[in-house]
Structure 1
Amino acid sequence: MSLNTRAAHLIERHPQAVIGHRSAAWLWGLDVLPPGSLQSDWRIELLVPPGTALYDPTCDVVETDLPEHHTTQRAGIPVTSLSRTALDCARWLPRREAIAALDQFVRQGVNPADLAAMAAPLARYKRSKRLHQALDLTDPGAESPNESRARVTIIDAGFPRPRTQIPVMGPHGDWVYIDMGYEDLRVGLEYDGEKHHSSTAARAHDEHRRRWLASHMNWQVIPVARDFLTYPTPYLEALLAAMLEHGWDPPSETIDDIATRLFRLQNPIRVA
């Protein structure tokens, strides 16, 4: 049974509740479920006022302060508003997932500054380090959740924050865009997702484009696959080597910090 249908049934049983968190994001048309999760199996988050005596083994009941203007309806189902859903995801999800979710909300028009203002009167939000870091690091240039996760992994490994969707003049006078990277060094990284890069033709196009960028524009673009999200160290080592080769000259402390973080990343990253 779909998440939407199950949400409607839950509200029929618990009309005082509101759908929130990742489930609300799904109802808003955004997929912020953990990688590999099925929406048909996801335990729906049901938000209720503090002190509400509600138990339902089929869902996760969350007690929270929820001002009336933080709620609305989607297809007749009470849900948290788009902004409140973004705020909750940014506040409560693990760091990498929070930023990946927030990138999607910002692409839908949510303003991070408005979220900070929304958080100010909420006791468990206004001083949240996790929330404010997510707001600072969000970037609407990410075109997929896994691009967002890759960007956060790069930052957390000690690298400078990469720019997203870097425009480079192409061979026919048109613009081509590099997913993320460092324009001053001409070093980039692109996430080759299964959906858009799995066909032989797509892979050939990508390889031709990157060869052209290297030979004509002196760009080194490192392609990464899905295993980057759990085993990023080989890709990050290649990124570091490319940046140094292209003239990056950070303080020795920065290199030492990156080396330490890469050593710690030898163990696989747990996917939330």
Structure 2
Amino acid sequence: MNDLTWRRANGGLIAPAATTLSARVEAMSPLLPPRTVIGRRTAAWIWGLDVLPPGAGQADWKIELLVPPGSEIDHPGCESFEATLPPEHVTVESGVRVTTPERTALDCARWLPRREAVAALDQFLRDGVDLTSLAELAAPAGYRRSKRLRAALDAADRGAESPGESWTRVIVIDAGFPRPRTQVPVMGPHGAWVYVDLGYEDLHVGLEYDGERHHSGTAARDHDQRRRRWLRDEMGWDVIPVSRDFLGRPAPYLEALLTAMLARGWSPPDETMDTIATRLFRLRHPVGRQVR
């Protein structure tokens, strides 16, 4: 018996010594009851997409199982969710029974927190899933399209190139700003296009998410600064860089965005301004924190 083999003991399953989520799923799959399917975030991982919560480690992530109503698999390495799955929502990938990409995308959109739900949808769309087909799949009875799902579908955008960009876009939209365009093309200095992560073309105002993976280190930071300086001086763009702390403290960045947009001539209706002002106040003064 190798390290990746799950064993039955005392009516349960003994986990293997696998260190990756994919290996644990592959080892467990042959032992699952016939109508049990890998789903949700775990299914997304099988499809090559990382929609685990920020900071979560895949080696410790519980395998999410979709089981028939009234069933349950009680094991600390797994988490069971009751679901009635039409046959067309299930397929086999790498020898594992798993929800189809479309069904997986919808399940993520339904059950994940809003920012993560939209980021997951963005990844699925970028990977080739069609947004129209998702809406059609959500319509039939038994898989009712909820407000939560509809809001996630409406906010999805295949142009996002990272979860950080998706989270940033959702925060901007939820703060009351117009929906920014993703990957705004700007003609570069040598005839090649330069793309602003999120932006308002008519105002030449944008935001860019500087993730740790691609924007850390002196060389990367110097490149970003030169690029944004060129966008400002030569093309008239005001690009606001945001980093991971934007997710926890968005108010200063959103205030900078509002200032830049107003300075460039944005003239929103009073109702929009009231909405933004109210939401910025709430972000500055969360419930439970005394305002002096």
Fold conserved (TM > 0.5)?
yes
Match of 2:272 in 1: 254
**Matched letter for residue 82 of structure 1:** P
> Matched residue of 2:284: which SS?
coil
> Matched residue of 1:201: which SS?
helix
Match of 1:182 in 2: 200
Question: Greater shift after overlay, 92-101 or 45-54?
Answer: 45-54
Percent of pairs with identical residues: 65
Instruction: Tell me whether 1:48 sits opposite 2:54 in the alignment.
Output: no
Contact residue 190 and residue 223 of structure 1 kept, 8 A: yes
Match of 1:234 in 2: 252
Aligned residues: 268
Question: Greater shift after overlay, 53-62 or 217-226?
Answer: 53-62
Instruction: Tell me whether 1:29 sits opposite 2:48 in the alignment.
Output: yes
**Matched letter for residue 237 of structure 1:** E
Match of 2:152 in 1: 134
Q: CA deviation at 1:122?
A: 4.3
Question: Greater shift after overlay, 112-121 or 59-68?
Answer: 112-121
Q: CA deviation at 1:57?
A: 3.1
Q: CA deviation at 1:54?
A: 3.6
Q: CA deviation at 1:130?
A: 1.0
Instruction: Tell me whether 1:217 sits opposite 2:245 in the alignment.
Output: no
d(CA) in 1 for partners of 2:77, 2:187 = 53
Instruction: Tell me whether 1:171 sits opposite 2:167 in the alignment.
Output: no
Q: CA deviation at 1:267?
A: 5.8
> Matched residue of 1:184: which SS?
coil
Match of 2:37 in 1: 18
Contact residue 231 and residue 267 of structure 1 kept, 8 A: no
**Matched letter for residue 210 of structure 2:** D
Contact residue 164 and residue 179 of structure 1 kept, 8 A: yes
Pick one of 62, 70, 73 that aligns with 2:81.
Answer: 62
Q: CA deviation at 1:51?
A: 2.0
Instruction: Tell me whether 1:207 sits opposite 2:221 in the alignment.
Output: no
Q: Deviations over 1:176-225 (max 9, x none)?
A: 00000100000000001111111211111111111111111111000001
Match of 2:9 in 1: none
Contact residue 71 and residue 78 of structure 1 kept, 8 A: yes
Match of 1:88 in 2: 107
Q: RMSD value over aligned CA atoms?
A: 1.5
**Matched letter for residue 202 of structure 2:** D
**Matched letter for residue 114 of structure 1:** S
Structure 1 unaligned regions, length at least 5: none
Pick one of 121, 125, 139 that aligns with 1:120.
Answer: 139
Instruction: Tell me whether 1:5 sits opposite 2:42 in the alignment.
Output: no
The alpha-carbon distance between structure 1 residues 253 and 64, as it changes in their structure 2 partners (threshold 3 A), is same
d(CA) in 2 for partners of 1:122, 1:179 = 38
> Matched residue of 1:265: which SS?
helix
The alpha-carbon distance between structure 1 residues 19 and 209, as it changes in their structure 2 partners (threshold 3 A), is same
> Matched residue of 1:207: which SS?
helix
Question: Greater shift after overlay, 172-181 or 151-160?
Answer: 172-181
> Matched residue of 1:126: which SS?
coil
d(CA) in 1 for partners of 2:141, 2:84 = 8
**Matched letter for residue 24 of structure 1:** A
Pick one of 172, 175, 185 that aligns with 1:157.
Answer: 175
**Matched letter for residue 263 of structure 2:** E
Q: CA deviation at 1:45?
A: 0.7
If asked which structure has higher relative contact order (CA below 8 Å, sep 6+), I would say 1
